[in-house]
């Protein structure tokens, strides 16, 4: 299995400063290109999704807050795209293999209202950040810094938490609906993540390792999932929701 | 007629450095607050409209280009909002009186496809820029610089021109449809502009002047309209379209 229709065009052609041990492994290079591609399209579609959410904002101030979140995601997209260009990889080629899975995720989790949009932004982005941080552990320092930077908190979490808690105070019945919504988000994310991992060996290899490159074993994978679940529950609780 | 439901809350409460002659005229102050309010909501809704257009982009690269245009509009919104805050005016209060007219404009000119979106972005923003530049002539230097900065070309015009010309080369029949579309955009913009001017005396006063403040006379208004029309025709021609 390969990661793109034409893997030769999605493989770095130039040496990049700051990439360290293991970079000369073509399988690792392909894994990094896949990672940057899926992250870049993830950020571009996060921009679109948050812009759509802005249309549902109850006030102009809220609209501007969500638009600012969208703009921050686009900033992350720019960093990832620039790194792909630096590696001599066409961003469009790197992103295309991941469009179907990410679009499917967003279509299956299209928020019905403002609050569902906020929960998705907070819970979904948090879950994605935890997941990619686990992968980042196994990356060369330069790629790791880029990934960690993309997922550094942009300070928008507080906004979502505040709004959702206020809505629950005003009408406690919304908590049940939003709790189910949070569970559905994670379920759909895991379905698409499994699909992506199965289709992209090099990307999965960043986590599970490869010849001469240590990765995590089965017990550690269970531990990663445990961590992701714990953090997810913590975020749901901070919103005032059962997980 | 007043510009807001409660004009007292939308009047500057603090002195601002850099605002010059005439600033102590409450009618002028109200006009400036109205101008910043209509521009701020204009930029916020331009952000939303361009984000929607990004969904129609034929490639991921095009999607990123239009998303970057949306992000630039949001940057302008931030400048205008910050100035309102500096003046001690609540941005929400300043923007609210203009929501209906701008939303009506966007609803009546919702692009059916990618090309209509590009023509709207280029022709609509160009027309708005020319219009506000005419108003800017009569403003204090600080407000004038802000308005001119908001409408400085962000370099995205070239993108729209290139894409529309390429589409016409590929299928000359689209030129007729897009020419009609351009005419409709300006027609709808003028309808809403007249409505806004009629409802907001202080804003209209920025152009036509007030007691002790020179403005334009009827002959000059005709001249302004002449300029706007000429520039609009020039933009349509640069797209390869009749106006």
**pLDDT tens sequence across B187-209:** 898 888 888 888 998 998 888 87
Size of interface A-B (CB pairs under 8 A): 69
Q: What's the pLDDT tens digit per position in B24-83?
A: 788 899 999 999 999 999 999 999 999 999 999 999 999 999 999 999 999 999 999 999
pTM of the model: 0.83
- For residue range A107-148, what is the model confidence (pLDDT) as tens digits? 999 999 999 999 999 998 898 899 888 888 889 999 999 999
User: What per-residue confidence (pLDDT) applies to B4?
Assistant: 39
Task: Look at residue B48 in the predicted model and tell me its pLDDT.
Answer: 95
Is A26's pLDDT higher than 70?
A: yes
* CA atoms of A115 and A56, how far apart (whole Å): 9
Least CB-CB distance to B63: which of A44, A55, A64? A44
Q: Quick one: tokens of B107?
A: 């609803």
Closest chain B residue to the Cα of A72, Cα to Cα: B71
pLDDT at A241 > cutoff 60? yes
CA distance B113 to B107: 14
Contacts of B23 (CB under 8 A, 6+ apart): B16, B29, B140
Judge contact between A51 and A121, C-beta under 8 A.
no
User: Considering only A10-14, A217-221, A238-242, B84-88, which range has the smallest mean pLDDT?
Assistant: A10-14
Q: Which of A130, A116, A153 is nearest to A239 (CA)?
A: A116
pLDDT digits (tens, 9 = 90+) for A37-46: 999 999 999 9
Provide the pLDDT for residue A217.
78
Measured between beta carbons, the chain B residues lying within 8 angstroms of A82 are: none
CB contact under 8 A, B92 and A59: yes
Helices (H), chain B: 26-54, 60-86, 91-95, 99-108, 114-119, 125-136, 141-150, 157-170, 174-199, 201-208, 218-239
In chain B, what is the greatest distance between 2 CA atoms, to the nearest angstrom?
Answer: 57
Contact B48 A55 (CB under 8 A): yes
- Predicted local distance difference test score (pLDDT) of residue A141: 92
A64 lies within 8 A of chain B by CB: yes
Distance CA B39, CA B47 (A): 12
Q: Which of B50, B58, B67 to mutate to test the interface with A (most CBs of A within 10 A)?
A: B67
pLDDT above 90 for A85: yes
Give residue-wise pLDDT tens across range A150-207.
988 666 788 999 999 999 999 999 999 999 999 999 989 888 888 888 899 899 888 8
d(CA B217, CA A58): 42
- Show Cβ contacts of residue B32 under 8 Å, excluding neighbours closer than 6 positions: B12, B87, B139, B140, B143, B206
Q: What's A70's DSSP letter?
A: H
Beta bridge partners of B210: B213
End-to-end Cα distance, chain B: 36
Cβ(B48)–Cβ(A67) under 8 Å?
yes
Chain Cα centroid distance, residue B47: 12
Instruction: Quote the Cα angle for A221-A222-A226, to 5°.
Output: 115
Q: Do A71 and B74 touch (CB under 8 A)?
A: yes
Which residues are CB-contacts of A179 (< 8 A; sequence separation ≥ 6)? A236, A241, A242, A243
- Mean pLDDT, rounded, of chain A: 87
Q: Do A67 and B47 touch (CB under 8 A)?
A: yes
pLDDT tens track for B87-132: 999 999 999 999 999 999 999 999 999 999 999 999 988 988 998 8
Do the Cβ atoms of B68 and A59 come within 8 Å? Answer: no
Nearest CA distance, A153 vs chain B (angstrom): 19
pLDDT-derived band of residue A98, with 50, 70 and 90 as boundaries? very high
What count of Cα atoms within 13 Å lies in the side-chain half-sphere of residue A152?
7
- Tell me the pLDDT band of A11, cut-offs 50, 70 and 90: low
**Helical packing angle, A125-136 and A26-54, nearest 10°:** 170
List A210's β-bridge partners, or say none: A213
Query: Is the pLDDT at A12 greater than 80, yes or no?
Result: no
Q: Is A51 on the interface with B (CB under 8 A)?
A: yes
In this complex, the residue of A67, A75, A92 whose CB is nearest that of residue B60 is A92
């Amino acid at each position: 299995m390969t990661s793109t229709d034409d893997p030769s065009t999605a493989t770095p052609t130039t040496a990049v400063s700051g990439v360290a041990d293991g970079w000369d492994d073509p399988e690792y290079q392909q894994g990094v290109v896949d990672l940057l591609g899926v992250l870049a399209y993830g950020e571009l579609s996060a921009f679109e999704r948050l812009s759509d959410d802005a249309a549902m904002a109850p006030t102009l101030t809220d609209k501007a807050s969500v638009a600012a979140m969208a703009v921050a995601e686009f900033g992350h997209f720019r960093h990832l795209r620039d790194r792909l260009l630096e590696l001599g990889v066409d961003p469009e080629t790197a992103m295309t293999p991941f469009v179907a899975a990410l679009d499917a995720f967003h279509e299956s989790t299209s928020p019905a209202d403002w609050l569902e949009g906020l929960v998705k932004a907070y819970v979904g982005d948090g879950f994605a950040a935890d997941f990619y941080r686990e992968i980042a552990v196994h990356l060369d320092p330069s790629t790791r810094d880029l990934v960690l930077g993309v997922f550094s908190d942009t300070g928008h979490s507080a906004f979502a938490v505040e709004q959702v808690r206020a809505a629950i105070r005003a009408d406690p019945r919304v908590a049940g609906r939003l709790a189910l919504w949070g569970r559905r988000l994670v379920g759909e994310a895991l379905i698409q993540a499994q699909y992506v991992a199965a289709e992209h060996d090099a990307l999965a290899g960043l986590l599970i390792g490869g010849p001469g490159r240590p990765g995590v074993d089965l017990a550690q994978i269970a531990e990663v999932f445990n961590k992701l679940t714990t953090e997810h529950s913590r975020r749901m609780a901070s919103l005032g929701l059962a997980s």
